[in-house]
């Protein structure tokens, strides 16, 4: 943390929260402020992040009020270079897990104020798309895929990063996130779907083509996706259709396409083209 008069304090406001009135999986959240402070102590940070995951997220199934109160501090720590890279990764994953539950479970299991808190906090993750560490960029894309209320801003940032990205794993995560968010977007919906369609073309490379098909399916867009999967499945080493292959007659069948995607995306991680 920065020190000195007027310096940025990522823990500003921590003591103003009535932590005893909030709850997590093990009762009143009185331990949370101490754990958040420990994130900035190198010898305590990893254990603190682990304990926050267990207490605040636990096994999922709900969003506790402690998550609402802790969220802004978790995002600040996740984006603070003063916090170790491994700990930052753990915090991004924690935020993503809680946000996923907030999008998934019934409203009665979500503490009041979560949706508003997540909408306020999510933009704070956008700079992580340009982090020097590819694993951080990958995790950030995954967390931002849960930012349904900020879908337009998140999509714009994801595509801006995609234009510059060279690491296959990150490229795949960016495409995955775009597919998850497109259905929730307004102004960025059609441009994102157009970009995803373009990534199904041969010039994108087999890995990106498969990820784009999966993303389009996640966005609920109908199309001859099985054709693309079939083309990729029956490419030879020179990336030409195998003469005896049957890819030209692969049916546009949802079950076939889904099964092929599950098999092929697991085998094609190293074939994704740099963008």
Residues 6+ apart with CB under 8 A from 54: 25
| pTM assigned to the model | 0.83
Per-residue pLDDT at 251 exceeds 70: no
CA distance 159 to 128: 14
CA 95 to mean position of chain CA atoms: 10
Per-residue pLDDT at 260 exceeds 70: no
Lookup: tokens for 112:
């009041």
CA distance 69 to 168: 36
What's residue 4's pLDDT?
Answer: 52
- Cβ distance 150 to 103 under 8 Å? no
Residues 6+ apart with CB under 8 A from 103: 146, 148
Mean pLDDT of 141-145: 98
C-alpha to C-alpha distances, 53 to 56, 77, 111, 135, nearest whole angstrom: 6, 14, 17, 19
CA distance 127 to 241: 41
Band of residue 59 on the pLDDT scale cut at 50, 70, 90: confident
Mean pLDDT of 235-250: 41
Band of residue 226 on the pLDDT scale cut at 50, 70, 90: confident
Query: DSSP assignment, residue 146?
Result: T
Per-residue pLDDT at 242 exceeds 60: no
Cβ count near 149 (within 10 Å): 16
CA distance 240 to 41: 55
Q: Of 74-78, 82-86, 194-198, 233-237, give the lowest mean pLDDT range.
A: 233-237
Mean pLDDT of 72-76: 98
What's residue 6's pLDDT?
Answer: 61
C-alpha to C-alpha distances, 97 to 110, 111, 176, 210, nearest whole angstrom: 13, 15, 16, 25
What's residue 161's pLDDT?
Answer: 98
């Amino acid at each position: 943390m920065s020190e000195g008069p007027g310096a940025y304090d990522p823990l500003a406001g921590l003591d103003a929260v009535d932590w005893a009135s909030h709850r997590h999986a093990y009762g009143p959240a009185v331990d949370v402020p101490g754990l958040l402070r420990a994130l900035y102590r190198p010898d305590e940070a990893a254990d603190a992040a682990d304990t926050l995951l267990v207490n605040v997220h636990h096994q999922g199934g709900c969003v506790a009020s402690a998550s609402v109160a802790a969220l802004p501090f978790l995002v600040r720590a996740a984006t603070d270079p003063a916090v170790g890279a491994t700990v930052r990764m753990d915090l991004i994953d924690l935020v993503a897990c809680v946000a996923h539950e907030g999008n998934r479970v019934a409203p009665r299991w979500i503490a009041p104020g979560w949706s508003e808190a997540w909408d306020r906090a999510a933009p704070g993750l956008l700079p992580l798309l340009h982090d020097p560490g590819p694993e951080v960029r990958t995790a950030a894309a995954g967390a931002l895929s849960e930012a349904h209320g900020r879908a337009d801003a998140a999509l714009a940032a994801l595509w801006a990063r995609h234009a510059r990205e060279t690491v296959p794993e990150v490229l795949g995560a960016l495409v995955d996130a775009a597919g998850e968010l497109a259905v929730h977007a307004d102004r960025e919906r059609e441009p994102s779907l157009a970009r995803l369609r373009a990534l199904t073309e041969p010039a994108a490379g087999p890995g990106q083509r498969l990820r784009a098909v999966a993303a389009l399916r996640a966005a609920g867009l109908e199309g001859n996706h099985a054709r693309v999967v079939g083309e990729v499945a029956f490419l030879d080493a020179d990336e030409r259709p195998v003469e005896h292959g049957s890819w030209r007659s692969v049916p546009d069948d949802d079950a076939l396409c889904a099964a092929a995607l599950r098999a092929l995306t697991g085998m094609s991680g190293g074939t994704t083209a740099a963008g």
